[in-house]
Homo-oligomer: A and B are copies of this chain.
C-alpha cells in the first residue's frame, strides 16, 4: 500500500474506492448509501459491499435517522472517529507543533515547542522531542495509534527514505548538505510506522483534507517564502523522485538572480524591520514612545505590530507581500490553480500581507488565471503541517483497509 501511495496515482482499484467512500463518509456523514453513491458516482451495490466490510472492521457505524420521512427509515453511516488515532508533527516558521488526532482530524492532544534553531540538527531534535511528548500523553491508548506522520523542510527523497538539508552557511552562499535517515531513526525510537513528507506538501494536503471542499482539485500552498505544496487533480503531487515544490534554484557557487534565489523563510521581514528601526533611531525620533520602550523584534512581535497597524511593521510586511505576490503570480500563470493558500507561518502577518499577494496576482497574471484563482490564508493556521501529517496517516489507513 505505502509503496503505491508514494508513487502518486497508482492506487489499486480497491484502495481508490476505499478512499472515495470513506472520504464521503468523513466529510458528509451521517450519510446514506444512496447519497454516497450519487456523490461519488459508484453504484449502490458496490458502495454496499465496501460499507459492509467497513462495518465489520468497525471503522464506520450505522445509526438510524430519527426524523421519519415516511416509509422505512434510512440507515445512515458515520465514521467511527475513535477507531484509530494518528500522530502528526511538523515545524513551521515559528516553532514545532505536534498533534494526536482521531480519524476525523479532531485534535485530541497538542504540543507546541518554540523555535530552537533552523539547522538540521535542531529541527530533527525538536521533531523527536515533540513526538515523544505526544506519545507520552496518549500512553493509555497506545494501541490505537496507527502511525506517525512527520513534516520536515529540506528535500525528502521518498525512495531512499532520507532527508537532505541544504543548510546555508553564514559567511557566503555555500550550502552544507546533511543527509539524515530520519524514517529509520523514528521507527527504531517509537516502534510505529512512520511516514515522512515535505512540510509544504503536508500543509497543502492537510488544508485540502480538513479545511477545503473536496472539489478544489488544483491547489498551491505557499509555505512562507521557501517552498510550496501542490495538489494536482485532487492528488498530492510529489514529482518523480518526491522532491517537487521548490521555488528556487540551488547553487553553491554563485548567486542566482533575485527572483530565483532561495529566500529567507520570513521573506526577509525580520532583518528589514531591524534595519528600519535603526534608521529611525538614527534620525532623531529618539524622544518617541517607541524608542523608549523595548521594541519586540521577534517575528511574532513584528506580525503583532503589523496587525495593530504600526508604521514600520506594516511597510515591511507590505513589501514582503509584494515580493511573495510576484512569486505566487508566476506560479499561478504556470499552474492555473483554483486556489492558493498562504501559510507556513507568514500568514500570521495578517490581512496586509494577503492583500498584497492578491494585488500582485491581479496585476501580474493573465486574466484567465487571475480570474480562476482564490488567494486565501491557511485555515489550519499553525497546526497545518502537523494536521497534514496526521491526515496522511489516516489516509493511508483508509486506503489500506481490506488489503
Count the A residues whose beta carbon is within 8 Å of the partner chain — how many?
54
Docked pose: A258 CA to B329 CA in angstroms = 15
Partner pick for A241 among B242, B257, B259, B371, CB 8 A cutoff: B371
A232 within 8 A of B: yes
**Which 8 pairs show the lowest CB-CB distances between chains A and B?**
A239-B336, A246-B333, A249-B364, A244-B336, A241-B372, A243-B368, A9-B233, A240-B338
Once the chains bind, are A368 and B333 in contact (CB under 8 Å)? Answer: no
Closest to A370 in B: B250
A268 within 8 A of B: no
Partner pick for A232 among B232, B251, B258, B331, CB 8 A cutoff: B232
Chain B residues in 8 Å Cβ range of A256: 364
Instruction: Supply 15 A–B pairs (Cβ within 8 Å), ascending by A.
Output: A9-B233, A9-B234, A155-B368, A166-B366, A217-B240, A218-B239, A239-B336, A240-B372, A240-B373, A241-B368, A242-B368, A246-B334, A247-B334, A248-B330, A257-B259
CB contacts under 8 Å to B, within A207-264, are: 217-218, 228, 232-235, 237-251, 253, 256-260
Q: Knowing A235-B233, A239-B336, A241-B372 touch, does A251 contact B366 (C-beta < 8 A)?
A: no
Q: Knowing A241-B372, A336-B244 touch, does A365 contact B250 (C-beta < 8 A)?
A: yes
Docked pose: A365 CA to B240 CA in angstroms = 14
**Chain B: minimal CB distance from A224 (Å):** 16
Chain B residues in 8 Å Cβ range of A260: 259, 326, 330, 364
Q: Knowing A218-B239, A233-B235, A243-B369 touch, does A250 contact B334 (C-beta < 8 A)?
A: no
Docked pose: A333 CA to B373 CA in angstroms = 23
Chain B residues in 8 Å Cβ range of A326: 249, 257, 260
Docked pose: A326 CA to B365 CA in angstroms = 21
Chain B residues in 8 Å Cβ range of A228: 334
**Chain B: minimal CB distance from A166 (Å):** 7
Once the chains bind, are B334 and A241 in contact (CB under 8 Å)? Answer: no
**Chain B: minimal CB distance from A13 (Å):** 9
Docked pose: A240 CA to B336 CA in angstroms = 6
Docked pose: A260 CA to B364 CA in angstroms = 10
A8 within 8 A of B: yes
Docked pose: A366 CA to B337 CA in angstroms = 25
Docked pose: A368 CA to B162 CA in angstroms = 11
Docked pose: A251 CA to B363 CA in angstroms = 7
